[in-house]
Amino acid sequence: MSVLVTGGAGYIGSATVELLLAKGENVVVLDNLSRGHRDAVSDGVPFYKGELRDQELVARIAREHAVDACVHFAAFAYVGESVTEPLRYFENNSAQGVAFLEALVQSGVKRIVFSSTCATYGEPRAMPMTEDHPQHPANPYGWTKFFMERILESCDRAYGLKFVALRYFNAAGAAGRCGEDHEPETHLIPNVLGAAGGRMPHVEVYGNDYATPDGTAVRDYIHISDLGSAHILALDYLAAGNPSDFFNLGTGRGHSVLEVIEAARRVTGKEIKIEFRPRRPGDPSHLVAGAAKAHAVLGWKPAFDSIDEIVRTAWQWQLNHPKGYAAA
């Protein structure tokens, strides 16, 4: 298979590229490096620095690499930033997404795996959240992904573009050369480890008055290798001629912020100072995946089932990359 990976220089995309290479697929990466790192992509992988909206470039890549399928990670992915800069998010994730899909369809590419998110559900009404949970996003980021899901459904009906939309919960951990290096960093685990490693004086915990056992928010942390393996299964599912569908990707188990910090203390052996802050708007108390559908239909089973092991991979990566990719 020849697979175009957009956002392949990003956190989850780069880990998926490594798995595709290990499986022997031909991979080509398109990324504008706005949030990704050239060093996250192995030498030898054809790499195009460019924008999703550059239809000439997308058509050229599809033609020159005889692209059969696409894994579409490229997007902005910070909830808070999407609240303060919604138009930038709608432009990048949805408007550029449409231009990109148009170029793919015109190039004859018929299969796509799309990075969606649990943020398309909005405020949880039932836990764990299954794929039929109502979707009403609580922030512009979630809406950009919700719109892309609807656009993909329309493209399937109109052009026969078959898709799998994977709704990830909280991506975490590191895999080989690939780790989390964002600026700014809004995700819990790299920030906790930043405090453990002395890069930050403390970790900020947003909200300790949620209706959870310890008052902090509960999330479902899924290792990036497990996310990557689900993309490969989704590509195989589409290649076998199966219909378009939506799948949650999570472990089905939640951990509170304080539990993650405890795990990081165990793994690193470091003291980690905490400062409590008010809740962030739009942050629900619990987000835990019902992932039975991905197990049953795709045959997916996450290999990492311990938060300590997930944190350990991230800590190891941070020790090997104290300045992130900048020092690579």
Ligand X SMILES: NC(=O)c1ccc[n+]([C@@H]2O[C@H](COP(=O)([O-])OP(=O)(O)OC[C@H]3O[C@@H](n4cnc5c(N)ncnc54)[C@H](O)[C@@H]3O)[C@@H](O)[C@H]2O)c1
For 30, 137, 260, the CA distances from 9, given in Å and listed in that order, are 8, 27, 27
How far, CA to CA in Å, does 135 sit from each of 139, 154, 171, 319?
12, 17, 20, 39
Q: How far is the CB of 76 from ligand X (least distance, A)?
A: 6
Q: What Cα–Cα distance (Å) separates residue 131 from each residue in 1, 116, 296? A: 28, 12, 13
The interface region with ligand X, picked from 3-11, 202-210, 234-242, 284-292 by CB under 6 A, is: 3-11
**Considering beta carbons, is residue 102 or 270 the nearer one to ligand X?**
102
Position 36 contacts ligand X (CB under 6 A): yes
> 51-69 as b/e, with b when 16 or more CB fall inside 10 Å?
bbbbbebbbebbeebebbb
In the complex with ligand X, the residue whose CB is nearer, 35 or 312, is 35
Give all strands (DSSP E) within 122-182, no chain letters.
Answer: 162-168, 170-172
Choose between 127 and 270: whose C-beta lies nearer to ligand X: 127
With the C-alpha atoms ordered 219, 80, 229, 324, is the resulting torsion angle positive or negative?
negative
Provide the minimum distance between the beta carbon of 88 and ligand X in the complex, in angstroms, as a whole number. Answer: 10
CB of 271 to ligand X, least distance (A): 27
Do 257 and 209 form a contact (C-beta atoms < 8 A)? no
Nearer to ligand X, 139 or 216 (CB): 139
- Catalytic residue list contains 237: no
Minimum CB separation of residue 5 from ligand X in Å reads: 10
Taking the chain, what is the end-to-end CA distance rounded to the nearest angstrom? 30
34 binds ligand X, rule: CB under 6 A = yes
Judged by CB under 6 A, the residue of 16, 82, 94, 96 near ligand X is 96
Active-site pick, 11, 78, 141, 168:
141
Site for ligand X contains 137 (CB under 6 A): no
Quick one: which of 68, 89, 64, 302 has its CA closest to 175? 302
So which residues are the catalytic ones?
A: 141
List of residues contacting ligand X (CB under 6 A): 7, 9-13, 31-36, 51-52, 73-77, 92, 96, 115, 117, 168, 170-171
